[in-house]
Chains A and B, each alone.
Chain A
């Protein structure tokens, strides 16, 4: 699997993680842009519910974020949908813990969630600005595997786009 990661999300993660000693996290939404290739579109951010070594993602906290996302993408679920979870490891290396793995398997095996795969991103900020990321793919009955992450050049450009084009982007949502 390939994951295209827009630079604006890298910047957003860096911004959210700065100065935080407790774990934070949220859900990920993405776009299917080709065979086994997805682009991360946005992340939700839950600043509560974390300790230095633990984070509990509350679905209520992200319900509105998902509803807005589905509305803005025209409810084209096969192309735009929930794609997984993220959280920070301020005190540990950015790799999944056993509890992370257990929780991800619960998500992909839960019929109420209704996905056949999900990704987990773990982020850590080192020396206040160096962002460490791991991205792992989870599928039912399959060993979790690392994901090839590509910083999305298009969105790098879009970060440098004019105010007008950014405004257009805004209204397109």
Chain B
């Protein structure tokens, strides 16, 4: 186990290099026009896309994860199989209705209708009809008693968003930034009732009256039927279900096979994972979300200059949060979810996780993320990009974690789902842009040092790296003590500066108190 530390000089060099790689003059903002390819957008490019955003949330994923009292392999296998079957079905739908598949993130699908280009009402109708198609198909793609039908809640909004590159290598799908993506997601996540929920803006586009509470007012059956008739998708539930069943017969999902990854997760090749080569072990998981980013995009998307700053800010902040997790703390990013990073971290062995070490390092990593975030905002401002309205909300949790890839062969999507993942996301949601929260399980298993920094509310404001190290070390947290020693070691003189010969003193020596080693 090596020590995981954050260092201001190292972070400054990284941030400056990233900012310098994105000079404003090199960033191009273009209008999305007919048949523009949105896959593989360059980091210095963004498209302004007028589209309808649809989010589909499977509400009963949590029920799947709770089918057994203990969160063992069985419940994880059932949940992943449940998701895999539904990913395949939804992937088939998206391919048939000519929308852009943006992302699956565990129980949540995001897709965008950019066509027809000159008819916003038609786009909304298509989104509504597709939402109903997804709901009806997923109600029938439960396989057996272990896999209940999915309960789906759909959120839809319409408007202009900025499409940017969402990652490197295998992850070249676009990321859509802005209000319509955010508001559609909020409607999908806005309650526990199924149905199709439109923002008032989207309702007006198709001639529906505004409502007081959009999250409590699903479309009626008649309204949905009107949209289905207007959209005329040309594909039926039966067709999709039959094709899905044929595909399942020809390409069976197989049994999930889990092994533990030898820590750290930094060495995990996520792109090499599959159903038969999945990982499962006790670990920590983190969500770090840019708070206020939708408003920041909304305020800047209107002008090319403003949009360039949005692109620069997003890439710099996300890259630095990833670097803290991966380079400084040897964790692994599962994925970026819009303006949020989701990652994993583990210490110990493949068979036996070091619980204290893992949670303490996660706490230090969360502190380091905030330190780097604050540093990056300052460096961005110094170089002409003011993103000081942004905050960072961080939530993390500990428990059995899975990592695999699901979906269609050749287009597998990273997935890490467990009770702890949902809990970490929940913890992040209860934070403001200055807060960090620890989940209940992690709080119950952590050292006194971690306990002390979070307190009974399990939430802490302005927890940066130096604060985390000094407060945890003061409570004799060995991970923080080691981090502190490493920080001091950067102030040491090089060995070549020492001229004094090595000698024994003329008295008996030897250790006077217990020494901890790892």
Contacts and interface: CB of A to CB of B under 8 A. Distances in A.
A54 interface: yes
B348 A102 contact: no
Contact of B489 (A83, A97, A115, A144): A144
A72 to B, nearest CB: 13
Interface stretch (B77-85, B105-113, B499-507): B499-507
A137 B483 CA distance: 19
Leading 10 A-B pairs by shortest Cβ distance: A98-B3, A98-B482, A102-B485, A112-B512, A81-B504, A99-B482, A99-B518, A145-B495, A82-B510, A143-B492
Interface stretch (B191-199, B306-314, B349-357): B349-357
A31 B120 CA distance: 86
Given A59-B515, A143-B493, 18 more contacts: A23-B518, A52-B352, A53-B518, A56-B515, A57-B511, A57-B515, A59-B513, A62-B510, A91-B348, A95-B2, A97-B2, A105-B485, A114-B505, A117-B502, A141-B493, A142-B493, A143-B495, A144-B489
Contacts of A77: 504-509
Contacts, number: 169
B489 A81 contact: no
A87 interface: yes
A62 B511 contact: yes
B514 A59 contact: yes
B486 A98 contact: yes
B481 interface: yes
Contact of A99 (B348, B508, B516): B516
B509 A101 contact: no
A11 interface: no
The winner among A38, A77, A91, A112 for most chain B CB atoms within 10 A is: A91
A142 B508 contact: no
Nearest to A115: B509
Interface string B488-500: 1100111101101
In terms of DSSP, what is the predominant structure of the interface of chain A?
mixed
B333 interface: no
Contacts of A139: 495, 498, 502
Nearest to B512: A112
Interface of B: 1-5, 347-349, 352, 354, 357, 478-479, 481-486, 488-489, 492-495, 497-498, 500-518
B2 A25 contact: no
B498 A101 contact: no
Contact of A59 (B349, B500, B512): B512
B512 A110 contact: yes
Interface of A: 1, 23, 25, 27, 32, 35-36, 38, 52-59, 62-63, 66, 70, 75, 77-83, 85, 87, 91-92, 95, 97-103, 105-107, 110, 112-117, 137, 139, 141-145
A78 B503 contact: yes
Contact of A36 (B347, B349, B501, B512): B501
16 contacts: A32-B504, A52-B348, A53-B349, A54-B354, A59-B510, A77-B508, A79-B504, A83-B504, A85-B517, A87-B517, A99-B518, A115-B505, A117-B502, A139-B498, A142-B494, A142-B497
Contacts of B497: 142
B515 A92 contact: no
A23 B435 CA distance: 38
The winner among A53, A99, A112 for most chain B CB atoms within 10 A is: A99
A23 B488 CA distance: 26
Contacts of B500: 116
A66 B511 CA distance: 10
Given A36-B501, A103-B515, A53 B506 contact: no
The winner among A56, A98, A105 for most chain B CB atoms within 10 A is: A98
B518 A107 contact: no
A75 B504 CA distance: 12
Contacts of B512: 59, 110, 112-113
Given A25-B517, A57-B515, A81-B505, A101 B2 contact: no
A57 B514 CA distance: 5
